[in-house]
Structure 1
C-alpha cells in the first residue's frame, strides 16, 4: 500500500516537473530557431542594480529602440522610443496587454489581488471596470472641487513654512487621494496612521518590483523555499498581512459610515455599490479600493517636487513667461482655477514638460507581457516576453526631445510629431494606461499654475549668500523615482498674493469640514 502511494506521489511529481520543464524546453527551442531574428542585445545581463533604467537607456543608445535580454528563462524586450512603445503596446494591444508573472510582488506580497500586476484575464477586467468607472475623465472632473480645496491648503502651507515644501506636497497628494477614495481627510501627513501604513506598503511594493532584483523571478522554484531559510520571503509575507489588515479596516470604516449616512461620495462607496453586481468578494473589493490610494500619492507629490527642482535649476528660462501669462489671464486678486487652464497654454506646457523631464514612473509603469508571437520591423518577439518601456529611455530619447535633460516647456507649444494625444508617455499605453491619469494630470497642472502665480521659486542661499546648487540627477531608487531632498527658496510674489492665499484658505477649511470629522477604525 505504502509503495503504491509513494509511486503515485512520484508520478504526480514527475508530471508536475514535466509541466514546468516541457514548456520551457519548447520556449528555448523556439528562441534557438529564431535566434537570428531576435532584436539585438547584450550577451551579459546585469542583475541586482539599484537603478536599472539607467542601464536600459545605455542599452537603447547602443542597440536601438528594441533591445532583447534573456533574463533567466524569460525573454525580455526593452523599448527605447515612443514610437516603438506606441506601435506595440497601443496598436497591438491585443497581444501586448498582459503582465509577466510577478512572483514576489504579485503572488507572495499581494496574493494575486492587485489588478496592476494581474494578467489579462477576468480578474483584471473586473478590476479595470471598477477603476475606469471611478476615474474616467467625466467622473474625475467631479473630484476637482476637492483638488482645488486641498490645493488652497497647500498654498497656505507654503506661505507659512516654505522650507517644509516636501511635507506639504505629500500632505496635499495624500489628502486628495484619501478623500477621493475613502471620503476622509489627511491633516498631518507625518502622524496620520493610514498614510504611514500605506507609505510602508507602497515602499515595499515598489522595492520588490524592480526588474532583476530577485532571483526567484528568474527561477520560480525558489518561491517554495521555507520562510525560515529565506528572510526576504518572510519580510514580504509579513507585509502582506499588514496590507490586508489596512485595506479591510478602511473598508469596514467605509461600510460603517455608509450605514450611518455620513459617507460622502467616494471611490470606495462606488466599489461597494458595484460589488454585488460584479460578484466581487470582500478582499478583492478592499484591494481594488486601495489601488488609487497606493499609486497616487508618490506620483503626484513627486511630480510637483520635480517641477520645483526644475525651477531652481532652469527657472529664469521659463518662470517669467509663465507668470506673465498668469497675470494676463488671472490677475492678482484670485487664485487660478481649472477653468483658467485652457487659456494658459504655456503654463500647461510647463506641466507637460515636468512630466516628460523627470517621470516618476521611471520604468514606464508595470511591465507588459506578450500573449502571442509577433514580428516588429523584422524582429521576432516571442510569446511570453516581458515588455519594458522605461520612460527614462523614451522621454530622454534625443530624436523626440533634443537636449533631453534641459527643461524646455516650448517643446509642448511648438508643432511636432509624437504618438498619442499628450505629447509625452507619462501615463502609459493602450489597455494598461493609467486609470488615474485625469486626476493626476489635473493635480499637477493646477498646483503648478498656483505656485507660479503666488511664488517666486529660486535657489536657496548658503551662509555666505551664494546659491545652493542642486543635483538634477539625484533621484530615489525603486519602481517609482522621486527627487531626493533638496533646498529651494519659495517666497510670495507680493503681500497681495499672500492676502488672496489666506482668504482662499479660510474659505477652503469651511468646505473641508465634511471630510475631517470621521470615525477612525484604523490603528
Structure 2
C-alpha cells in the first residue's frame, strides 16, 4: 500500500491525536535528521566519484567548489590547479555536479577530437540553454538519444551548407570588398577601429544570412545584437554569482522570471505580437525580399518542408550566424591591433614579405596566401595568443562513461577545454605571452610539436567545432594581411606628448573575451599605399551597393506588443 493510501485509511482523529502526542518538535527533528541523512548520502556519492575522477579541490556538500571560484577570469584558476595537481585534467564541482577541465593540448586532442563520437553531446545547461538559447539549439543540443542525434545531424548539415569550408569560398568577393572598406574607413577615422571591425564582421554575416549589408557602424543590428551577445557572454562565465549560481541551486530557476531578479531576465520566452522571435522574423523578411536568392535565410525556407524545420530551428540557425561570425571575428581583429602595437618588431618581417610579394599598387588578396608564409604565421599567432573563445565555447559531455589515464569521466559530465591554459603551456609555447609568429614558421627554432595541423585550438574540437571556423579564418587572414600591409600601428600620445602604454592582459571577463578599450595611432605606411586604399575602397563600395537595404525590425522594440 502506498504511503498516501495508508494515511488516507487512518481515522482523522487518530492522526491528530498521534501528531499531538508525538509533538511538533519531534516532527521537526525527524525532518531535519532525514534531510541530514540525505545530504550525507549525497556527499558520500560525491566523494566516491571524486576518488575515481581527475584530481581537484575538495568539494563541500551541496555547493561543491562553487564558492572557491574566483570573481573574474576563472580560466586562470583552472590553469593554476592543473599545475598544482600536476595533472592535465582537473575536476571542479559546481554544486553537486563535477566539471572536468582539460588544460593540455594532447589530452584535449585525445578526448575531444580522437574520441569525438563519445564527447559529441552537451550536458544539461540550465543558464545558457534551458533559460537562454534553448537546449534544442545546435550549439547546446544534447545528443544522447537516436532522435536527438538525428536532429543534430540535420541542423549541423544545414549550418555547414551555410558556412562550411566549401561554401565560404563563394563569399570571398564580398568579404574581400568589406575588408577593403575597413581599410578605407581607417583613413578617415582610425580611432574608431573597433566600430569598423564590428561593422565589417556583422556586415559579412548579414549578407550571408539575410542578403543585406550593414554599412553604418551605428546600425541597430550591431549596437543591439552585439550588446546582447556581450551580455550573454558575461553572464555565462562559471562563477559564484547569479545567474550562474543557478547551476549550483537549480531549484531557484523554477521561480517565475517576473518574481526572480536573480535570473537576470533569463527564462522569459519572448515572442512578438506576430508570435515569432527576432531572428526568425529577420529570416522571414529576407525570404520575402526580391533578389539575393543564395542568402542563407532563403535556403532555410526552401529546405523547411524537406527537414520539417520548426520556426525555432530557423531562428536558431539564422541567429547562430551572428554568434559564429560577428562578435568573435571583430574581437580577433582588435587583438591583432593590440599585438601590432605591443610587439612592433613582429611587423618588420611582415612588411618585408608584403612589399616583396604584393607591393604598393594593390592590397593583398586570397591568391597571395601561399606566397605569404610569415603573414599566415602572424594570423595563427593572433588566434593562439589571445583566443576569443577562451574556454573553448560550450562544454562537451560524454554519451557514456569514459576513462583517461585511469580516471573516470562519468556520462553527461561537463567537460571543458581551457583554451587559455592550452595555448599558454610552456612546453608548446615558451614565453607564451610574447606575441611571436615564428612559432608557426616551418623549421623555426621557436616551433614546437602540437597536435593537429593548424597548431591552435581556438575554434573547439570534434563534432562541436565552431561552425563559423572557415569563415572566420578566411576573413581574419585577409583583413589582418591588409591591415599590416596598409598601416603603421604606433603608440598614441597623451596631452603632454608621451606614449600611452597598452596592457596585454587587460581583457573583458566574458566567455568571448576581447581587449578592453585602448588607444593607438594608426596611419598609412606610405602615400602610394594610401591612394591604393582609397581607390580600392571606393570600388568596393560600388560593388557592395547591390546588398544595400533596410530591415523594419529592431531588437530593442521587437517584443513590444502592438
What TM-score do you get using the length of structure 2 for normalisation?
0.84
> Of 150, 157, 167, which aligns to 2:178?
150
User: Which piece of structure 1 moves more, 372-381 or 38-47?
Assistant: 38-47
Structure 2 partner of 1:341 = 369
Aligned partners of 2:209 and 2:297 also within 8 Å: yes
1:76-87 to structure 2, matched below 5 A, reads 76-87=99-110
Whether 1:72 aligns to 2:99 is: no
Distance change (3 Å), C-alpha of 1:386 and 1:37:
same
Whether 1:427 aligns to 2:459 is: yes
Distance change (3 Å), C-alpha of 1:506 and 1:264:
farther
Q: CA deviation at 1:26?
A: 10
State the SS of the aligned residue for 1:236.
coil
Aligned partners of 2:82 and 2:89 also within 8 Å: yes
Whether 1:202 aligns to 2:229 is: yes
Q: CA deviation at 1:284?
A: 1.3
> Of 297, 304, 322, which aligns to 1:293?
322
Distance change (3 Å), C-alpha of 1:239 and 1:288:
same
Mapped to 2, the partners of 1:520 and 1:511 lie a distance apart of 24
Q: C-alpha offsets along residues 4-28 of structure 1, whole Å, 9 cap, x if unaligned?
A: 8x98xxxxxxxxxxxxxxxx99997
RMSD: 2.4
User: Which piece of structure 1 moves more, 385-394 or 237-246?
Assistant: 237-246
State the SS of the aligned residue for 2:266.
helix
Whether 1:236 aligns to 2:259 is: no
> Of 190, 194, 216, which aligns to 1:166?
194
Aligned partners of 2:277 and 2:315 also within 8 Å: no
User: Which piece of structure 1 moves more, 167-176 or 236-245?
Assistant: 236-245
Whether 1:474 aligns to 2:506 is: yes
Aligned partners of 1:78 and 1:387 also within 8 Å: yes
Q: CA deviation at 1:207?
A: 2.6
What TM-score do you get using the length of structure 1 for normalisation?
0.90
Aligned partners of 2:284 and 2:297 also within 8 Å: no
Gaps of 5+ in 1: 8-23
User: Which piece of structure 1 moves more, 163-172 or 237-246?
Assistant: 237-246
Structure 1 partner of 2:135 = 112
Whether 1:36 aligns to 2:51 is: yes
Q: CA deviation at 1:229?
A: 3.3
State the SS of the aligned residue for 1:174.
helix
Q: C-alpha offsets along residues 107-160 of structure 1, whole Å, 9 cap, x if unaligned?
A: 122243421111122332222111112222111111111110001110001111
Mapped to 2, the partners of 1:109 and 1:186 lie a distance apart of 26
Q: C-alpha offsets along residues 85-126 of structure 1, whole Å, 9 cap, x if unaligned?
A: 111001111221211111122112224342111112233222
> Of 79, 90, 94, which aligns to 2:117?
94
Structure 2 partner of 1:15 = none
Distance change (3 Å), C-alpha of 1:306 and 1:200:
closer
Mapped to 2, the partners of 1:178 and 1:234 lie a distance apart of 28
Aligned partners of 1:253 and 1:521 also within 8 Å: no
State the SS of the aligned residue for 2:101.
strand
Aligned partners of 1:173 and 1:300 also within 8 Å: yes
Q: CA deviation at 1:338?
A: 0.6
Mapped to 2, the partners of 1:439 and 1:27 lie a distance apart of 46
Aligned partners of 1:332 and 1:497 also within 8 Å: yes
Mapped to 2, the partners of 1:408 and 1:48 lie a distance apart of 30
Structure 2 partner of 1:453 = 485
Mapped to 2, the partners of 1:50 and 1:227 lie a distance apart of 26
Mapped to 1, the partners of 2:410 and 2:544 lie a distance apart of 53
Aligned partners of 1:81 and 1:394 also within 8 Å: yes
State the SS of the aligned residue for 1:137.
coil
Whether 1:438 aligns to 2:483 is: no
1:376-387 to structure 2, matched below 5 A, reads 376-387=404-415
Structure 2 partner of 1:14 = none
Whether 1:270 aligns to 2:292 is: no
Q: C-alpha offsets along residues 257-281 of structure 1, whole Å, 9 cap, x if unaligned?
A: 1xxx323422222222222111111
Whether 1:215 aligns to 2:242 is: no
Distance change (3 Å), C-alpha of 1:118 and 1:439:
same
Aligned partners of 2:113 and 2:461 also within 8 Å: yes
Structure 1 partner of 2:399 = 371
Q: CA deviation at 1:194?
A: 2.2
User: Which piece of structure 1 moves more, 284-293 or 346-355?
Assistant: 284-293
Aligned partners of 1:228 and 1:234 also within 8 Å: no
Whether 1:54 aligns to 2:76 is: yes
Distance change (3 Å), C-alpha of 1:114 and 1:209:
farther
Aligned partners of 1:74 and 1:384 also within 8 Å: no
Mapped to 2, the partners of 1:202 and 1:240 lie a distance apart of 17
1:268-417 to structure 2, matched below 5 A, reads 268-315=297-344, 317-413=345-441, 414=444, 416-417=448-449
State the SS of the aligned residue for 1:398.
coil
Aligned partners of 1:197 and 1:246 also within 8 Å: no
State the SS of the aligned residue for 1:109.
helix
Structure 1 partner of 2:536 = 504
User: Which piece of structure 1 moves more, 195-204 or 444-453?
Assistant: 195-204
Aligned partners of 1:174 and 1:189 also within 8 Å: no
Mapped to 2, the partners of 1:490 and 1:113 lie a distance apart of 44
Q: Which structure would you say has the larger Rg? A: 2
Mapped to 2, the partners of 1:519 and 1:411 lie a distance apart of 45
